[in-house]
Amino acid sequence: DAKTTQPTSMDCAEGRAANLPCNHSTISGNEYVYWYRQIHSQGPQYIIHGLKNNETNEMASLIITEDRKSSTLILPHATLRDTAVYYCIVRVGYNYGQNFVFGPGTRLSVLP
């Protein structure tokens, strides 16, 4: 699976949009971009994933560049409960028996 690079930490003001970048310059054509987050002392929580097109769900939006070498997770109106470590993971989608490989992630602090 392709390696990803994320900033170590970021701050965001409550109510503002949080934009979390991820670089995955070696991504392959059949690899998806997944985002998970982990609130302190909890298991990781799925947020969103995408292949080429931008995606949006009730939690966030995922913007993938045209060359697919980077992406941005957007939390449109961050709240204090969004404080967590956010993981960007790139992997082949259709592979039941394969685990997810977690990097260090980005520690997002939402400030009041």
Partner 1 sequence: GAVVSQHPSWVICKSGTSVKIECRSLDFQATTMFWYRQFPKQSLMLMATSNEGSKATYEQGVEKDKFLINHASLTLSTLTVTSAHPEDSSFYICSAPGTGAYNEQFFGPGTRLTVL
Tokens of 103: 């990097």
Tell me how far, at minimum, the Cβ of 7 lies from partner 1, in Å: 15
Q: Determine which residue in the list 43, 53, 67, 81 makes contact with partner 1, applying CB under 8 A.
A: 43
Three-class SS state of 9: strand
Q: Which is nearer to partner 1, 13 or 39 (CB)?
A: 39
Should residue 87 be labelled a site residue for partner 1 when binding is judged by CB under 8 A? Answer: yes
Should residue 15 be labelled a site residue for partner 1 when binding is judged by CB under 8 A? Answer: no
Q: Which is nearer to partner 1, 14 or 102 (CB)?
A: 102
User: What is the 3 state secondary structure string of 47-103?
Assistant: EEEECCCCEECCCCEEEECCCCCEEEEEECCCCHHHCEEEEEEEEECCCCCCCCCCC
Binding site for partner 1 (CB under 8 A): 32, 34, 36, 38, 41-46, 49, 87, 93-105
